[in-house]
Structure 1
Amino acid sequence: MSLESLNTSYINGKWVEGKSQNTYNIVNPYDGSVLSKVRLATVEQLREAFEIAKEAQKSWAQSTAEERRIVIEKAIQYLNENREEIVSIVSQETGGSVLKANVELHLALEVMEEALKFTDEIYQIKEIPSTTDGKVNHVYKLPLGVIASISPFNFPVNLSMRTIAPAIALGNSVVHKPDIQVGMSGGTILAKAFEAAGLPKGVFNVVLTDIDEIGDEMLENRHSSLISFTGSTAVGRHIGEIAGRNLKKVALELGGNSPFVVLSDADVDQAVNAAIFGKFIHQGQICMIINRMIVHQDVYDQFVEKFVERAKQVPYGNPRDPKTIIGPIINERQMQKALSLIEEAKKEGIKVALEGKREGNVLTPYVFVDVDNSSKLAQTEVFAPIATIIKASTDKEAIELANDTEYGLSSAIFTSNLEKGEDLALQLDSGMTHINDQTVNDSPNIPFGGNKASGLGRFGNPWIVEEFTVTKWVSIQERNRQYPF
């Protein structure tokens, strides 16, 4: 799979060069080397993709469950057969470790396998009792139409596929815009898979472009029935405003400030093991990443000491080295955000327990301790290997601190009392809570999503079926009805 073959948009079953005068270099964030040069698609090409998707969806909606299942199975086969090359591209393009790239592809394949289970959900009759004599009520789930899909840079294969596979399985068509920084991993590789699988032309379209070229067309196009977006809360609010004005459905998975709560009765060693993984995987560039470690005062010093020692030992450097865990920050803008946050925290007098450093585009672990939960450091979604540790005096205070954020995506509680852990989990205002584990968890058969400013809607089977279909009531009057006038 040559990188040169992955730099064009895929519209109406054809690989097409962008018509913009502007080009974009997809680079390896570790060394800045150019992986591929893309000529950007124009807003006119995007509109064309929506027109084509609208027409293609009409026939795809009439395909059989078996036809949809076969296409997804063949796409799975393609990704498996090309696994080694795909993992290499994902690692190079995202700056993620080989471990992370393998995990990401595995998650995407799980999403596709799960989608096979609900290809027959549409057009199934559900009979509902009627209060009207002689009437039969049938309720159907029908394809929604065209899904506008926008995915981020951090886990582009998985976070794209969790929209694309269910949409296709349920008889919808898709116009997909991956983050151009990872246009191959998040877009064209997936298009190659569905092309090889024989998906009818126009059902899945990938447009390689950026916001300067297309503005809000992905959001405002009259043919899109739902906007599926994973990314920042700020952008999510913008999407929500436009979608609301145009009465479009949304599936928004947005920012996070995930708390990792360690209670006084926790197994500290295991909590540290979990925290190291949940803070530093993919250099902290995950919406679910542990953002705040809230530790009971009884075990605080012990936890801090052990966490800092482990953080010092996390391997960093070139992601192509299989031993590397911490690779590069995705771009210079994100690096400067992280460095600015570090400097501000220091100026505020927040204690540094482990001083990191910048080496090229890699930022090594920083650990701040005795952090005030109201500080900018604690209240900011940190997309970097910067750990924040906060002391709580009681279990009650730990939960209050955990909830004291505008976000509510993922969370975790460590305790030896599982019953207490589950009771407290229900008090955490987040879409997901993991007891005796870290915050970065995903599965295709759970309700994945957040509360508050972390989003709207849920991914995962069967919740995604409700999101990506429209419910239709058909009543049949089998005996003549007597009307009052």
Structure 2
Amino acid sequence: MNAQLQMGPKAWSEALFTGEWSKATNVLRVTEPATGEELACVGRASADDIRKSAAIARNAQKSWAAMPLLERAAVFRRAAQITERRTPELLEWIVRETGAVPPKAMFEISSVINHMHEAAAMLTQPKGLLLPYDGSGLSIARRIPLGVVGVISPFNFPLLLSSRAMTPALACGNAVILKPDQRTPVVGGFLHAEIFAEAGLPAGVLCVMPGDAEAGEALVTDSAVRMISFTGSTAVGRRVGELAGKHLKKVALELGGKNSLIILDDADLDLAVKSGAWASWLHQGQICMSAGRHLVHERVVDEYVARMSEKARQLPVGNPFTEQVALGPLISDVQARKVNSLLNDSLAQGAKLHAGGESKGVFFPATVISDVMPGMRAFEEEIFGPIVSVTSFSSDDEAVALANDTDYGLSAGIITRSVSRGKAIADQLRVGLVHVNDQTVNDDGFMPMGGQGSSGNGSRHGGPANLEEFTQWQWLTIKDSPPPYPL
């Protein structure tokens, strides 16, 4: 990796994007979590900026949806080529703006390229059904664009999670207003704007508007925006859902999780430890699918804790831009304080610390605690930090009960040598994603991703779910002449 990212003047400096760059009245200063260094100064959208962008997007959407499908598909293929060409630059931005280690950044980039190719392929897929009809006409059920889709994306995987909703929404003929997290507006928004502008996306079809809660509320309530796709915390998601429902808008909510990795007594512990480390320490645990509970059979729990603790002590923590590390910084001091508070409260409630401990600033070591019981904060709350929280169980039924003891319902993993036993447990878990002999953090743009309960409203992104999510049914009948009605 280069010693220094090329941080010269950019089109997005103090600007917003509506198909062209324009100076903003307000600005956001983007800082590197690992150092506190300012990386960029970009525009911050106000409610008025959101209203203006919504009008621009609504006007641009009609001609975009009417463009020949092969021309639209070519835009996504060119975007994929541009993304691939710009991989070194994108990687450095992800590492510095989000605190990610380089392999995690490369995963984001490769996933986004896949999303772009998948979006291009969507253009040639069937979009409806020929319905039964008595008479000489036609009766057709077809999927049509919603119009303007608002996408609100989070800080943890900003390039990927903006793309996951934005690219299929565009492929379905919609315009998109993208509001990336204020902490990651470059990776989550402006890099996408640059790539799609170079790829030939017509002006106004994609607008990028980073902003605070005022901008978010304006996006959710604007009459020109017909759908909101939100990925983020459950607390904010409830507010988004409330506002969207009040304004009779379609809303897709992908929220937090309290995910269980279940280690049965017949598990291969070498593989179980590797799975557990990935599930809780990848990107410092700042993933909605991270394993917030390691449920381990009482016969193997002591060995599992010992092995996991030894692995934790081997993982270096530091600045991923300048050092070879396994864990980078948490996104902010605020997040570090939250994780420290949860850890200390859980220890005060009786949990035992085996490795790691409190952070040094934003740098939080891989941490292992055991004897975590229901009622403790580490058992009840989404951690969003690099803590392996271990709870023991004595039977498969108890493991199921512990895993289901939460309002969340996103992901689960089960490690066992018995596929039938793993499948029997999987069948009883109230989650949107479940993996037998794999861990909780799995993502693939070709499968329907989403949760239930406090993890989401049942919406799905990815693969076969995309067309359903970002279009609506329209019934079309065609007759040679009007029927002779008796009135």
Short-chain TM bin? over 0.9
Aligned-partner SS, 1:31? coil
Post-superposition Cα deviations, 1:101-144, rounded to whole Å, max 9, x if no partner, equal 1111111112112112211347x4521113x4555321111111
Q: Distance in 1 between matches of 2:62 and 2:188?
A: 26
Aligned-residue offset at 1:445: 1.0
Aligned-residue offset at 1:478: 5.8
2:146–2:470: 8 Å Cα contact kept in structure 1? yes
Aligned-partner SS, 1:179? coil
Aligned-residue offset at 1:221: 0.5
Partner of residue 186, structure 1: 188
Q: Distance in 1 between matches of 2:137 and 2:323?
A: 65
Aligned-partner SS, 1:181? coil
Partner of residue 319, structure 1: 320
Partner of residue 151, structure 1: 153
Map 1:54-93; keep pairs closer than 5 Å: 54-93=58-97
Partner of residue 15, structure 1: 21
Partner of residue 35, structure 1: 39
Post-superposition Cα deviations, 1:195-218, rounded to whole Å, max 9, x if no partner, equal 100110000000132225x36101
Q: Distance in 1 between matches of 2:233 and 2:357?
A: 26
2:15–2:43: 8 Å Cα contact kept in structure 1? no
Q: Distance in 1 between matches of 2:359 and 2:449?
A: 34
1:356–1:366: 8 Å Cα contact kept in structure 2? yes
Partner of residue 455, structure 1: 456
> Bigger shift: 9-18 or 92-101?
9-18
Q: Distance in 1 between matches of 2:94 and 2:482?
A: 63
Partner of residue 294, structure 1: 295
Paired letter, 1:459: H
Q: How many residues align?
A: 480
Map 1:351-390; keep pairs closer than 5 Å: 351-390=352-391
Q: Distance in 2 between matches of 1:13 and 1:413?
A: 46
Q: Distance in 2 between matches of 1:111 and 1:240?
A: 26
Aligned-partner SS, 2:337? helix
Post-superposition Cα deviations, 1:251-290, rounded to whole Å, max 9, x if no partner, equal 1110011100011111111010111111101000000011
Aligned-partner SS, 2:345? helix
Q: Distance in 2 between matches of 1:143 and 1:390?
A: 47
Map 1:155-166; keep pairs closer than 5 Å: 155-166=157-168
2:330–2:336: 8 Å Cα contact kept in structure 1? yes
Q: Distance in 2 between matches of 1:377 and 1:61?
A: 48
1:97–1:322: 8 Å Cα contact kept in structure 2? no
Q: Distance in 2 between matches of 1:271 and 1:57?
A: 49
Aligned-residue offset at 1:391: 0.3
Aligned-partner SS, 2:374? coil
Aligned-residue offset at 1:419: 2.1
Partner of residue 344, structure 1: 345
Map 1:37-436; keep pairs closer than 5 Å: 37-121=41-125, 124-130=127-133, 132-134=134-136, 136-212=138-214, 214=215, 216-321=217-322, 323-436=324-437
2:16–2:44: 8 Å Cα contact kept in structure 1? no
Aligned-partner SS, 1:295? strand
2:119–2:167: 8 Å Cα contact kept in structure 1? yes
**Percent sequence identity over matched residues?**
38
2:149–2:226: 8 Å Cα contact kept in structure 1? yes
Q: Distance in 2 between matches of 1:40 and 1:10?
A: 7
Q: Which segments of 5 or more consecutive residues in structure 1 lack a partner in the other structure?
A: none
Is 1:4 matched up with 2:9?
A: yes
Q: Distance in 2 between matches of 1:476 and 1:52?
A: 33
Post-superposition Cα deviations, 1:373-413, rounded to whole Å, max 9, x if no partner, equal 33221111011111100001101110110011110111100
Aligned-residue offset at 1:460: 0.7
Aligned-partner SS, 2:226? strand
- Sort the Cα spacing of 1:84 and 1:343 in 2 relative to 1 into closer, same or farther, 3 A: same
Q: Distance in 2 between matches of 1:228 and 1:407?
A: 19
- Sort the Cα spacing of 1:235 and 1:100 in 2 relative to 1 into closer, same or farther, 3 A: same
Q: Distance in 1 between matches of 2:50 and 2:260?
A: 39
Aligned-partner SS, 1:440? coil
1:31–1:361: 8 Å Cα contact kept in structure 2? no
- Sort the Cα spacing of 1:156 and 1:3 in 2 relative to 1 into closer, same or farther, 3 A: farther
Aligned-residue offset at 1:316: 1.2
Post-superposition Cα deviations, 1:410-462, rounded to whole Å, max 9, x if no partner, equal 11001111122122212111000111111111111111000111012000111
Q: Which segments of 5 or more consecutive residues in structure 2 lack a partner in the other structure?
A: 1-5
2:143–2:474: 8 Å Cα contact kept in structure 1? yes
Aligned-partner SS, 1:473? strand
2:262–2:294: 8 Å Cα contact kept in structure 1? yes
Partner of residue 3, structure 2: none
- Sort the Cα spacing of 1:29 and 1:461 in 2 relative to 1 into closer, same or farther, 3 A: same
Paired letter, 1:84: P
Aligned-partner SS, 1:411? strand
1:9–1:208: 8 Å Cα contact kept in structure 2? no
Aligned-partner SS, 1:266? coil
Q: Distance in 1 between matches of 2:199 and 2:265?
A: 53
Q: Distance in 1 between matches of 2:105 and 2:265?
A: 36
Paired letter, 1:296: H
Aligned alpha-carbon RMSD (Å): 1.8
Aligned-partner SS, 1:68? helix
Q: Distance in 1 between matches of 2:480 and 2:40?
A: 63
Q: Could you tell me the TM-score, scaled by structure 1's length?
A: 0.95
Post-superposition Cα deviations, 1:149-203, rounded to whole Å, max 9, x if no partner, equal 1100000000000111101111100011101111100000000000100110000
Paired letter, 1:227: I
Aligned-partner SS, 1:464? helix
